[in-house]
Structure 1
Amino acid sequence: MKTTQMIRNTIALVLLSTMASYAQFRPIQHSDRYHAEVDVVDMTDDEVSVTVVPPVQNENVATFAMPKIIPGTYDISDFGRFIKNFHAYDSYGNELEVEHTDVNRWVIQNAKSLYRITYDAIDTQEEYDKGIFLPGGTAISDSACMMNLFGFVGFMEGQDDMPFELEVKKFPGLNATTALDIMDQQDKRDKFYAQDYFELHDRPILYSTQANASVMVAGAEVMVGTYSPSGALVSEDILDEIMPVFTATRDYLGGTLPTDRYVVLVWGKQLSEFARDGSAGALEHFTSTTLVWPDMRGQEEGIRHVTAHEFFHIITPLNIHSEHIHSYDFMNPQMSKHLWFYEGVTEYNSLIAQVRGGIMSESEFMNEMVGKMNAADNYDEHIPMTLRSEHALDIFADQYGDVYQKGALIGMALDMHLRKETNGEEGLVDLLIKLKDMYGPDTFFVDNNFFDIIVDHTPAGTEEFLYNYIAGTHPLPFEELFDAMGYSYMESVPEYEVRRPDWSTSFISSRSRYYFVSRVDNSDPFTAEFGLQNGDYIKRWNGERVRQGELAEVLNEWAENATIGGEVTIEIERDGEELELSSTVTLEVNEERHILNKDENPTAEELRLLAQWLNL
Structure 2
Amino acid sequence: MNLRFFRLFALLFLLSFLLSFSIGTLSPLLAAGQNPTYRYQVDLKKSENGKLFVELLVGTLTEEKVQFCLPAMVPGTYKVYDFGRFVSDFQALDAEGKPLTIEQLNPNTWEIAPAQKLHTIRYAVRETFSDAQSPVVFEPAGTSYDAENLFVMNTHAIFGYFKNREREPFEIEIKKPADFYGSTSLIAKTQEKERDVFEIQSYHDLVDAPMMYCRPDTVNFEIGGAQILVSVYSSKDKIKAKDIADGIYQTLLAQKRYLNDELPIRKYAFLLNFFSGNSKSGAYGALEHSYSSFYHLPEMPIEYILPSVIEIAAHEFFHILTPLNIHSEEIHYFDFANPKMSKHLWLYEGVTEYFAHHALLCGGLSELSDFLETMREKILSARQYKDTPFTVMSLGCLDKHEDEYGNVYDKGALIGLCLDLKLRILSEGKYGLINLMQDLSKRYGKENPFKDDELFDVITELTYPEIRTFFAKHVEDNQPLPFEELFAQIGISYQAEGETQNIFIGEISLAADVTTRKLFISEVNTEDEATKKIGWQADDVIETVNGQEASADTILEVFEKAKDGDVLKWEVKRKVKGKDKIVKIKTPISFNKQKVLHHFEPEDLTGKKLDLLRDWKRMGEYQQRYGK
TM-score by length of 1: 0.78
Aligned position for 2:227: 221
CA contact (8 A) 2:66 2:111 kept: yes
> Which residue of 52, 55, 62 corresponds with 1:58?
62
Query: What secondary structure does 1:159 align onto?
Result: coil
Equivalent residue in structure 2 for 1:467, among 445, 449, 472: 472
The whole-number CA distance in structure 2 between the counterparts of 1:394 and 1:239 is: 39
Mapped partners of 2:195, 2:402: distance in 1: 42
Q: 1:140 to 1:425 in 2, by over 3 A?
A: same
- Indicate whether 1:157 and 2:157 are aligned: no
User: How many angstroms apart in 2 are the aligned matches of 1:427 and 1:318?
Assistant: 20
Aligned to 1:489: 494
Q: How does 1:141-220 map to 2 (within 5 A)?
A: 141=146, 142-220=148-226
Identity within the alignment, %: 35
CA, structure 1 residues 591+52, in 2 after alignment: closer, same or farther (shift >3 Å)? farther
User: Structure 1: 5+ residue runs without aligned partners?
Assistant: 1-28, 496-547, 551-589
The residue aligned with 1:610 is: 613
Residue 129 (structure 2) aligned to one of 125, 131, 140: 125
Q: 1:329 aligns with which of 329, 335, 338?
A: 335
SS of residue matched to 1:128: coil
Q: In 1, Cα distance between the equivalents of 2:143 and 2:36?
A: 28
| Larger CA deviation: 116-125 vs 297-306 | 297-306
Q: 1:247 to 1:493 in 2, by over 3 A?
A: closer
SS at match of 1:41: helix
1:305 maps to 311
Aligned-residue offset at 1:233: 2.1
CA contact (8 A) 1:134 1:278 kept: no
1:89 corresponds, among 85, 89, 93, to 93
Unaligned stretches of 5+ residues in structure 2: 1-32, 501-526, 530-593, 620-628
Pairwise CA distance, 1:300: 2.0
SS where residue 120 of structure 1 aligns? strand
Instruction: After superposition, give the CA deviation of every residue in 1:135-163 in whole Å (9 maximum; x if it has no partner).
Output: 01111212210110001100010101011
Deviates more, 1:423-432 or 1:235-244: 235-244
Counterpart mapping for 1:285-434 below 5 A: 285-298=289-302, 299-381=305-387, 383-434=388-439
Q: Which residue of structure 2 aligns with residue 18 of structure 1?
A: none
SS of equivalent residue, structure 2 residue 133:
helix
Deviations 1:87-136 (A, max 9, x none): 01111111111111210011101111001101111110011333101101
Q: Find the aligned partners of 1:591 and 1:375 in 2 and give their Cα distance.
A: 18
Distance in 1, matches of 2:69 and 2:124, equals: 14
- Structure 1 residue 238 corresponds to structure 2 residue 238: no
SS at match of 2:473: helix
Deviation at 1:459, TM superposition (A): 2.4
Structure 2 letter corresponding to 1:65: C
Any idea what SS the aligned residue of 2:213 has? strand
Q: Tell me the SS of whatever aligns to 2:386.
A: coil
Q: Specify the structure having the higher radius of gyration (Cα).
A: 1
Distance 1:110 1:315, change over 3 A: same
Distance in 2 between residues matched to 1:174 and 1:288, nearest whole Å: 20
Return the letter of the residue paired with 1:347: E
- Give how far 1:236 is off: 2.0
Contact in 2 for aligned 1:31/1:56 (Cα 8 Å): no
**2: CA distance, partners of 1:42 / 1:258:** 39
Cross-structure match for 1:267 = 273
Q: Give the deviation of 1:165 after TM superposition.
A: 0.8
- The verdict on how the C-alpha distance between 1:31 and 1:255 changes in structure 2, with shifts beyond 3 A counting, is closer
Q: Does 1:33 align with 2:37?
A: yes
Contact (CA 8 Å) 1:208, 1:226: kept in 2 or not?
A: no
Give the superposition deviation at 1:305: 0.7
**Mean Cα deviation higher: 433-442 or 230-239:** 230-239
User: Which residue pairs with 1:99 in the alignment?
Assistant: 103
CA distance in 1, matches of 2:59, 2:375: 50
CA-to-aligned-CA distance 1:9-66 (integer Å, 9 cap, x gap):
xxxxxxxxxxxxxxxxxxxx98653111122113341111111123321111111000
The residue that corresponds to 1:572 in the other structure is none
CA displacement, residues 282-332 of structure 1 (integer Å, 9 cap, x when unaligned): 011111111101123312221111011011111010000010111111111
Alignment check: 8 A CA contact 1:41 1:169 kept:
yes
C-alpha separation in 1, matches of 2:58 and 2:422: 52
Could you list the per-position Cα deviations for residues 531-556 of structure 1 after superposition, in whole angstroms to 9, with x for gaps in the alignment?
Answer: xxxxxxxxxxxxxxxxx999xxxxxx
Distance 1:591 1:396, change over 3 A: farther
Determine the C-alpha separation between the residues in 2 that align with 1:78 and 1:340: 26
Counterpart code for 2:85: R
SS in 2 for 1:264: strand
Match of 2:578 in 1: none
Cα offsets for 1:224-245 (capped at 9, x unmatched) = 1111121122112221111112
Q: Give a deviation string over 1:142-197, Cα, whole Å, max 9, x none.
A: 22101100011000101010111110011101101111121011111101121100
Q: Distance in 1 between matches of 2:395 and 2:301?
A: 40
- Counterpart CA distance in 1 for 2:232 and 2:106 is 36
1:368 partner amino acid: T
- C-alpha contact 1:30 1:55 (8 A) present in aligned 2: no
Match of 2:162, as an amino acid?
M
- Distance of 1:177 and 1:42 partners within structure 2: 20
- Partner residue in 2 for 1:48: 52
Mapped partners of 1:413, 1:132: distance in 2: 34
Separation in 1, partners of 2:595, 2:350: 27
1:455 maps onto 2:475 in alignment: no
Instruction: For 1:461 and 1:213, locate their aligned partners in 2 and report how far apart those are by CA, in whole Å.
Output: 47
Letter of the structure 1 residue corresponding to residue 314 of structure 2: A
> How much has 1:592 moved relative to structure 2?
4.1
Contact kept? 2:188, 2:197, Cα under 8 Å: yes
In the TM superposition, residue 439 of structure 1 has moved relative to its aligned partner by: 1.2
Other-structure match for 1:254: 260
Give, in whole Å, the separation in 2 of the partners of 1:606 and 1:54: 65
Structural RMSD (CA)? 1.9
Q: What's the offset of the Cα at 1:591?
A: 7.8
CA distance in 1, matches of 2:282, 2:404: 20
